[in-house]
A and B are shown apart, each in its own frame.
Chain A
Amino acid sequence: AQTIHQWPVAEIKAVGSPLSLGCTIKGKSSPNLYWYWQATGGTLQQLFYSITVGQVESVVQLNLSASRPKDDQFILSTEKLLLSHSGFYLCAWSLTGVFYEQYFGPGTRLTVL
């Protein structure tokens, strides 16, 4: 069975500080991977997707970057946090290829003060 793990569960950070959020998928080879951001009470906005190791495409940047250093790992980061980065970050995976169902991780709640 596939499992998707996100870390940390929650984070409180200062404006201007760096950030790194992680996502790991186990039990599935070469998945497509996605990052989403959700403001409190808002909808999900896709940020990035990756279809293979080392390759990441931006959908909406929001002064964030993403990397896929391993087949089962997806990292979201920034060197300088803004207040507007607060929210809920969700990682998702789907099977290799197009037109497959997405499955979401438990999310990371980020508060920027």
Chain B
Amino acid sequence: GDQVKQSPSALSLQEGTNSALRCNFSIATTTVQWFLQNPRGSLMNLFYLVPGTKENGRLKSTFNSKESYSTLHIRDAQLEDSGTYFCAAEGTGNYKYVFGAGTRLKVIA
């Protein structure tokens, strides 16, 4: 099965609304990264998490290692938030990273 299961796979949001993306891990995960990939393929770093919560503007992310999941909350969605969001799990210090399948987000006016 998927080692990093990301949901939903796709999402359409009205501008100004809120949503949450989630990653569930079936592998031992020490840190989590969240990225946003634009249509040209560039990956933007959003968060790098050890267990806990971080916030940056309209984005907030939590990594719960005991329950093996991470969430990314988007508040007041804007058109520029559109793209594909990926989470990546880093395991037990072996330099190996496993990415989720991604959430394709489209924000509509």
Residues of A with Cβ closer than 8 Å to B?
32, 34, 38, 42-46, 49, 51, 57, 59, 88, 90, 98-99, 101-104, 106-107, 109
A32 to B94, CA, bound (A): 12
Q: Could you say which residues of chain A place their CB within 8 Å of the CB of B95?
A: 32, 34, 49, 51, 57, 98
Q: How far is the CB of A66 from chain B (nearest CB, A)?
A: 13
Q: How large is the interface on B (under 10, 10 to 19, 20 to 34, 35 or more residues)?
A: 20 to 34
> Are A109 and B96 neighbours in the complex by a CB distance under 8 Å?
no
Query: Is there an interface contact between A99 and B90, defined as CB atoms closer than 8 Å?
Result: yes
Which residues in window 55-106 of B have CB below 8 A to A?
86, 88, 90, 93-102
Interface flag for B1 (CB, 8 Å): no
Known: A99-B30, A99-B93. A44 touches B45 (CB 8 A): no
Q: Give the chain A neighbours of B96 by CB distance below 8 A.
A: 46, 49, 59
Contact assessment for A107 and B41 in the assembled complex, using a CB-CB cutoff below 8 Å: yes
A32 neighbours in B (Cβ, 8 Å): 95
Pair A102/B102 contact, Cβ less than 8 Å: no
Nearest Cβ distance between residue B93 and chain A, in whole angstroms? 4
Q: Which residue of A lies closest to B42 (CB)?
A: A106
Can you list the 10 inter-chain pairs with the closest CB atoms, starting with the nearest? A98-B93, A101-B48, A104-B43, A44-B99, A49-B95, A107-B41, A43-B99, A43-B101, A46-B97, A88-B41
> B33 at interface (Cβ–Cβ under 8 A)?
yes
Residues of B within 8 A of A103 (CB): 45
Q: Please measure, in the bound complex, the distance between the C-alpha atom of A44 and the C-alpha atom of B102, giving whole angstroms.
A: 9
Tell me how far the C-beta of A73 lies from the nearest C-beta in chain B, rounded to whole angstroms: 18
